[in-house]
Amino acid sequence: MVTAARLRHLGPNWYAAVMGTAIVGSAGAALPSHVPWLCAALWALSLLLLLALLAARALHWTHHRDQARAHLLDPATAPFHGCVAMALLAVGGGALSAGRYWIGVHAAVALDAVLFTAGTALGLAAAVAVPYLMVTRHRPGLADATPVWLLPLVAPMVSAALGPALVPYLPPGQPRETLLLGCLALFGLSLLATLLMLPLLLARLLLHGPLPLALTPALFLVLGPLGQSTTATGAIADLAPGVVPAPYDRGLTVFAVLYGVPVMGFALLWLALAAAQLVRARRRGMRFALTWWGLTFPVGTCVTGAASLARHTGLAVYAGLAVGLYALLLITWAAAATGTVRGLLSGALLPAPGPARGALRAARVRTRSGAVR
């Protein structure tokens, strides 16, 4: 079967394109002023991409089960399984924030409920299974550390940020409070795991130098847990009144600001650092790879995080920051989408293993041979 044969190397990293497209619509809807039909159109595109990718991955598992299992056991590919959960969550959350303009509120709630449930379950599974495999099977060294390791750990944070939107559609009382505090628990789960991982990533950069060129866009993945956690605390605080008893409802509002302001400050610092290394990589000949999609979703979470801070503080500077970051998001999405379409039309993306995998293997070879960049 020709189609199935071409899908042999279709990995879970392709779900990043769904995430990156969905966040453009939902982040746009979070801005103080936006164009509803445009946000809805971008969300609809992400839904179509998700359906197409789910069908393609089903073919992949049917005809290339050995390769699908190999992806799980490959230390460079396994963390991308977190993208599966985040793609489901991003499209589900976008249904309520952007898609409701086209499909209506009732359909949006139903779709979001299904995708949120599936995405949260897969996200929790990935957050446990991938680190378990890293400890028992992959056994990576410090030189192998990349921001890709964050992907399975960030998935529960996406659930924490998007879950509160479903709270008003649950029966009053314990169902609403359970979901809202459950989102707070997911926030803590993902945040603490991320805080344990970030020092390893920074140590890898300081001790072993810049990432391979093809992996350089992955530096932006660090923005994901930062922007998404700021979004999560704001979303939880928005729904807390009338759901969580006093004084905890007011406490969550205070926490959203006290947490979000310093974290957004660090996010901007990391954005500058990652952008500088991206410019360096481009000057040294970095070409398009699917890792470019790492420039989209993380920046989008910073847009929603800045918009949340603008809503809770009333400061125009955060509203302006959200608009500026959204402009950056549009540029990165256009670059990633254009490169992906060209790669698919030319046949350059599907036949060979993903660039992140090849780049990481090349980095291991250089490290073991003692080469200095």
pLDDT digits 0-9 by tens, 266-301: 999 999 999 999 999 999 999 999 999 999 999 999
Q: In the CATH hierarchy, which top-level class contains the domain 2-339?
A: mainly alpha
- Per-residue pLDDT band for 232 (boundaries 50, 70, 90) equals very high
Mean local confidence (pLDDT), 3-30: 87
How far is it, in rounded angstroms, from Cα 238 to Cα 361?
Answer: 45
How far is it, in rounded angstroms, from Cα 90 to Cα 100?
Answer: 14
If one compares 202 and 350, the residue with the highest pLDDT of the two is: 202
Average pLDDT along the chain: 90
- Per-residue pLDDT band for 322 (boundaries 50, 70, 90) equals very high
How far is it, in rounded angstroms, from Cα 211 to Cα 273?
Answer: 13
Domain range list for the chain: 2-339
> 160-164, 178-182, 365-369: which range is least confident on average?
365-369
* pLDDT value of residue 369: 39
pLDDT surpassing 80 at residue 364 = no
Q: In the chain, pLDDT over 70 holds for what percent of residues? A: 92
> 32-41, 226-235, 333-342, 360-369: which range is least confident on average?
360-369
How far is it, in rounded angstroms, from Cα 335 to Cα 46?
Answer: 16
> 21-25, 212-216, 361-365: which range is least confident on average?
361-365
- Per-residue pLDDT band for 365 (boundaries 50, 70, 90) equals very low
* pLDDT value of residue 370: 40
pLDDT surpassing 50 at residue 2 = no
Model pTM score: 0.90
